[in-house]
Amino acid sequence: MNVQFKIWRGDASGGKFREYATEVSEGMVVLDAVHDIQRTQANDLACRWNCKAGKCGSCSAEVNGMPKLMCMTRMSDLPLDRPITIEPMKAFPIVKDLIADVSWNFRVKKKIKKFKPRPPDAPDGTWRMQQEDIDRVQEFRKCIECFLCQDVCHVLRDHQMHDRFIGPRFLIYAAALEMHPLDTENRVAELREAHGIGYCNITKCCTKVCPEEIEITDNGIIPLKERVVDEFYDPLGWLWRTGKRKREP
């Protein structure tokens, strides 16, 4: 069937929705329709994509107002009797058409202290970890860096506090490091201050849009907030941890 689209066209200086129509066949996803339009009607329509299978996190956009990976959004799941709107993520500056400038995310990541493993457990330089001790970290490491969670986070999207808050993606990244059984680094002080974990007020919007279904809030952010509380607001815990950390290599 022939379906109508309204795709945002423009750049940092402004833009508007333009109307397109294309044939939709069985099994098509939104990215297929965008590619068809690009191939036949608008060669210069800018969108990012790579894997087309929900693994690389490149084709993030807002489809009918919902943050989605275009490659994993089936046309058949959308109401096709009215135009489908596609626009770029809103928590970041616009480059062109469906392309947002996500470079801030790469700069933020660099500020988080890197992985620092304990000395190897075995003489051959390897470590031992039990599967149940890494299940949680593996959940966080499923993240494909599509930045949809950043896009819906109101601290970033509505309040534009990019200089004070690292956003759910990087809280999950920090959580994966903090909960890594081998890691010996401590990132709690930064989480509280420079990374602004306190700005998150647990509305769980990030969790709802995660295409990898990571329990960002419950499994990642809340435990991190608890660590911050333990470390900074519980005097006995603070004393105990300070002593413990000194004993560790």
Partner 1 sequence: MADYETFQHDVLVIGAGGAGLRAAIEASAAGVSVGLICKSLLGKAHTVMAEGGIAAALANVDERDNWKVHFADTMRGGQYVNQWRMAELHAKEAPDRVRELEAWGAVFDRTKDGRILQRNFGGHKYPRLAHVGDRTGLEMIRTLQDHGVHQGIDVHMERTILTLLKQSGRVVGAFGYDRERGRFLVFRAKAIVLATGGIGRAYKITSNSWEYTGDGHALAYLAGAELIDMEFVQFHPTGMVWPPSVCGILVTEGVRGEGGILTNKDGRRFMFDSIPENYRAQTADNEEEGWRYCQGDKDARRPPELLTRDHIARCIVREIKEGRGSPHGGVFLDIAWIKKKIPNGAEHIKKKLPSMYHQFKQLADIDITEQPMEVGPTTHYVMGGIRVDSDTQMSRLPGLFAAGECAAGINGANRLGGNSLSDLLVFGKRAGEFAAQFAKENQLGDINGNEIEDVAREALRPFERSKGENPYTLQRDLQETMQDNVGIVRNEAEMTSQLEYLRKFWERASHVGVSGNREFNPGWHTALDLKNLLTVSEAVTRAALERKESRGAQFREDYPEKDARFANVNTIIWRGEDGRMNVRLDPLLEMPDYLKQVIEEMK
Going residue by residue from 188 to 217, which x/- string records binding to partner 1, judged by CB under 8 A? ------------------------------
CB 165 within 8 A of CB 105: no
What's the min distance (Å) between Cβ of 50 and partner 1? 4
What's the min distance (Å) between Cβ of 79 and partner 1? 18
- DSSP character string of 42-88: -TT-----S-SSSSS---EEEETTEEEEGGG-BGGGS-TTSPEEEE-
Task: List the one residue out of 146, 179, 162 whose CA is nearest residue 61.
Answer: 146
CB 21 within 8 A of CB 3: yes
What's the min distance (Å) between Cβ of 103 and partner 1? 7
**Contacting partner 1 (CB under 8 A), which of 23, 93, 138, 198?**
138
Select the span of 79-87, 124-132, 158-166, 218-226 touching partner 1 (CB under 8 A). 124-132
Length of the chain, please? Answer: 249
Which is nearer to partner 1, 2 or 201 (by Cβ)? 2
Q: Binding residues for partner 1, how many (CB under 8 A)?
A: 58
d(CA 168, CA 118): 27
**Scanning residues 76 to 115, which ones bind partner 1 (CB under 8 A)?**
95-97, 99, 102-103, 106, 109-110, 114-115
